[in-house]
Amino acid sequence: MRGLGILRLGGRRIRTPAVCGSVMGRTLEELERGREKAERRGADLVELRLDRLEEGPDWERLLEGKLPVILTHRPEREGGFFRGKEEERVKGLLKGMERGVPCLDLEFSTPPRLRRLILSEARKRGTSVILSHHDFSGTPPLSHLLKRVREMEREGDLVKVVTLARSTEEVLRVLELYQAKPSVPLISFAMGEVGALSRILSALLGSPLVYASVGGPTAPGQMDVETTKKLLERLP
């Protein structure tokens, strides 16, 4: 499909729509294999998920691959696996910035004090921040989602809103957010089987990133990198 343009993530420039391979694992070796597999399968960048990692030391070496990295440390309340204290979770993101990661995914539900800390440090270091909201319980009314987008666009470099859809109507509700034309790039799609194609349609509507699995899916309805790339190539 025709590109949307160039997205700047930190010091990296990425042609969009870009396929982001989501990588998650319990060990450093699993994460490293996932990152390498994402490169081989043609992903444009990698989302490195720390929240399932059971080994702490030396994970920063995973940031040294060829592809740009979005560093994510997803808490359990938003569909992730991290169950510890918020201060500990945020510490991993701060460490990633110290090592020069170009982009972070930071949940809007992060306590305001810690959210401000991350955003302030990101501005100092030139790190891009995707401010995200994930709802695994369902898809709220459009007015609620629009309010959330307006709140988030005031702080993030990109805004990501993802909900679990159980009907076509709910999928369309999530995609309708693109009509709001936020002041920053928007990534919005629906999870679940019924929402799978919304990941591809979001690129038509303006999303700069399309998330795809490298091993197993990291969210319901996520397609693998190869399938995602083929579908994007068939779009006008």
- Indicate if the pLDDT at residue 130 is higher than 60: yes
pLDDT over 70 percentage in the chain: 98
**Of the listed 160, 181, 229, 230, which one is catalytic?**
160
**Of the listed 73, 95, 134, 230, which one is catalytic?**
134
Residue 134 appears among annotated catalytic residues: yes
Hey, what domains does the chain have and what are their CATH numbers?
5-131+193-234 (3.20.20.70)
Using alpha carbons only, how large is the chain's radius of gyration in Å?
Answer: 16
Tell me the mean pLDDT in the region 94-109. Answer: 96
pLDDT over 90 percentage in the chain: 87
Instruction: Go through 111-142 and write b for each residue having 16 or more CB atoms within 10 A of its CB, e for each that does not.
Output: eeebbebbbebbeeeebbbbbbbbbeeebeee
pLDDT of residue 13: 95
- Indicate if the pLDDT at residue 42 is higher than 70: yes
pTM to 2 decimal places = 0.95
Q: Are 58 and 28 in contact (CB under 8 A)?
A: yes
Residue 37 appears among annotated catalytic residues: no
pLDDT of residue 58: 83
